[in-house]
Every structure is written in C-alpha cells, then in structure tokens.
Amino acid sequence: MLLRNESGSLEERELLGARDDQDHGLGDIEDPGSSRHNSPFPHQAPRHHLSFVWSRRFMFWFAILCTSLWFGVHYQQPGDVRYLPLIEKANAHPNRTGYANQEKVFIGAMFYNNQDVIPYWSDSIIKAIHYLGADNVFVSIVESESDDQSPALLQQLDDRLETMRVQRRILTNDKAVTKPHDLWGNYRIDFLSALRNRVLEPLVENGGYDKVIFSNDIFIEPETVLELLNTAEGEYDMVCGMDYGQYG
C-alpha cells in the first residue's frame, strides 16, 4: 500500500518492518515438526482438577462447621460447672444438712402447661436440694389452668419431696387467682403478679429464709442454680440468671 506523503511512506515501511519481525519471532518459537495447533486462548486447567480443588475446599469448610457445632453443643463454661463435682458427691452421699453453708433457701416456681419441662426441672431441683440440704429448703409451687399432664407430674414431684422430708407447698389446679379473659397489657401483668404472690405466701407467713430462688418454667441445671445463689460470694440484693448459650 502506497501513501501520498513522504512521512506516510516512512510510517508504512516501519510498520511493515515490525510485522516482519513479529512473523520471524513466531517462526522461531514454533516447532516445525509439531502438528499441535497453537490456541489463541490462555491455558485452562482440566475439569477434573477444578472439581478436586473445590471438593477439598468444601471438605475444609465443612469440617470447620462440624467442629463449631460440636463445641457449641458440648462446650461448658468453667464458671458454670464448678459446683458439678460437689453436686455429684452430694447426690451420691446425701444427708439432711447438705454440703453448703447451711443458709435457708426458699424455692418458688409457677407452672402452666409445662409437661415437657417439669420432669427435667424436678430432677435438677432435687439434685440442688441434696447439696443445700433437705433441712434447709422450702419448695413452693403453684400450677393453674393447665390442660396437659402438668398437675400429675407435679404430684410426682410432691411424692419425691415427701420421701426426702422436704418442707413444701405444691398447689395444682389452683383457683385462688382468677385468670382474666383478656391477657393483654396490664391484665397479664396483674395476673402474673398475683400468682407470684400466691407462690410467696409461705415465705410471708413463716419467714426465716436467707435466700429466695424464683424459677420460671425453664430447663435448669443444679450447678447453675448454685452458681446463681453464690453470685458475688452472696453479697447481693437481687440477681438474675440468663438462659442463653455461651456464644450469645
């Protein structure tokens, strides 16, 4: 191709010279005896190699997930289980005065349709009582309005406490506090307050207790009950346990 001006002709010659150099370079790289076709695209890893890499990555993260789940279920905070050996000893060798500091403890609770909770709650409270001492504990429970097996399960607990000769008052199907038709807002608060006062009646009438434990209808552990009692070495007016896992 010819251009009209001289400078253009010079640019054409330089361009053609560069193209010749590139062609020459390609000729040096290519193997004349090879029939392989040079692909203009970058080299790609085989599909089976990519599958292997992703499989290893998946197994790595899956192992981390399984390990985290295991620790989340089985890990115990040291401060939450420091009383566990003492509780095991107290339940293996129970006595009337227990293994604690001889403080008098009033245990109160309310239940309503809690047949799934009561058996576990009962076992935990009895284990805690063996540590505190049957002579040092009073148990007060009120159940009302349940339509499941809660009353029968609480009667079983009453029988177990009678065998241990623990002072108690367990009321089932109690009608002393009337349940309002509307449980929204202040009506609900008033109703629950009246039930709690019903639970605390033996404490008000008799007195003589150093600590009061008021439990909601939740799954509890005996060692955490004792941990709560001994918060700040017992120097408190009121404390509250929090029912959440160690990871929040």
Asked if residue 125 belongs to a domain, the reply is yes
Asked if residue 115 belongs to a domain, the reply is yes
Would you state the pLDDT for residue 79? Answer: 66
Would you state the pLDDT for residue 25? Answer: 46
Asked if residue 52 belongs to a domain, the reply is no
Taking the alpha carbons of 97, 100, 101, 107 in that order, is the dihedral positive or negative?
negative
Asked if residue 167 belongs to a domain, the reply is yes
Asked if residue 116 belongs to a domain, the reply is yes
Domain holding 119: CATH number?
3.40.50
Listed as ranges, residues in the chain with pLDDT below 50 are: 1-35, 248
Residue 211 corresponds to which tokens in the numbers above?
């600590």
Would you state the pLDDT for residue 53? Answer: 78
Helices (runs of H) and strands (runs of E) counted in the chain? 8, 4
Is there a contact between 197 and 214 (Cβ–Cβ < 8 Å)?
A: no
DSSP 3-state of 96:
coil
Asked if residue 131 belongs to a domain, the reply is yes
Is there a contact between 246 and 75 (Cβ–Cβ < 8 Å)?
A: yes
Q: Could you read off the pLDDT of 192-240 as tens digits, one per residue?
A: 999 999 999 999 999 999 999 999 888 999 998 999 999 888 888 999 8
Asked if residue 97 belongs to a domain, the reply is yes
Would you state the pLDDT for residue 60? Answer: 87
Return all residues near 83 (Cβ < 8 A) that are at least 6 apart.
Answer: 131, 222, 223, 226, 227, 230
Would you state the pLDDT for residue 195? Answer: 95
Distance between CA atoms of residues 229 and 231, nearest Å: 6
Is there a contact between 110 and 100 (Cβ–Cβ < 8 Å)?
A: no
Would you state the pLDDT for residue 1? Answer: 46
Taking the alpha carbons of 166, 228, 231, 72 in that order, is the dihedral positive or negative?
positive
DSSP secondary structure letter of residue 221: -
Could you tell me the CA-to-CA distances from 239 to 90, 158, 163 in Å, in that order? 25, 27, 31
Tell me the pTM. Answer: 0.69
**Token pair 């050996």 in the structure block, residue:** 85
Adjacent-strand bridge partners of 138:
106, 167
- Structural domain including 183 reads 80-226
Count of domains observed in the chain: 1
- Give the phi and the psi of residue 235 in degrees, each rounded to 5: -95, 85
Asked if residue 3 belongs to a domain, the reply is no
